[in-house]
Amino acid sequence: MATKVESQESTALQEPKLYKVFLLNDDYTTMDFVVDVLCEVFHKSYEEAVNIMLKIHKEGKGLCGVYTYEIAETKVDQVHRLARAHEFPLKAVMEEE
């Protein structure tokens, strides 16, 4: 006769690390394009996008969102692809939170 043995292994789940995605100011990318990127890639409202764009313009960079590594990396790539397609030097960077 077989007996059932239950193990009580405790697995500690850790929250994934989060990364902040920033857009960086440059002298060539238009403000309208930055607003469009914020709306399209980061799903910001027009008003939110304008506020972030002004922060980027005044302070050199602006926070677009906080994501897991893979999503942050994808957002950075999307920004760079859009910028290249429109011949702008707009850069996005990610920093660990």
- Report residue 71's pLDDT band, with 50, 70 and 90 as the boundaries: very high
In a domain, 7, yes or no: no
In the prediction, which pLDDT does 42 show? 98
Question: Could you list the residue range(s) of the whole structural domain that residue 60 is in?
Answer: 18-96
For position 31, which CATH number holds?
Answer: 3.30.1390.10
In a domain, 5, yes or no: no
Q: What is the 3-state secondary structure (H, E, C) of the chain?
A: CCCCCCCCCCCCCCCCCEEEEEEECCCCCCHHHHHHHHHHCCCCCHHHHHHHHHHHHHHCEEEEEEEEHHHHHHHHHHHHHHHHHCCCCCEEEEEEC
In the prediction, which pLDDT does 54 show? 98
Over residues 26-49, the mean pLDDT reads: 98
- Count of domains for the chain: 1
In a domain, 10, yes or no: no
In a domain, 46, yes or no: yes
In the prediction, which pLDDT does 7 show? 60
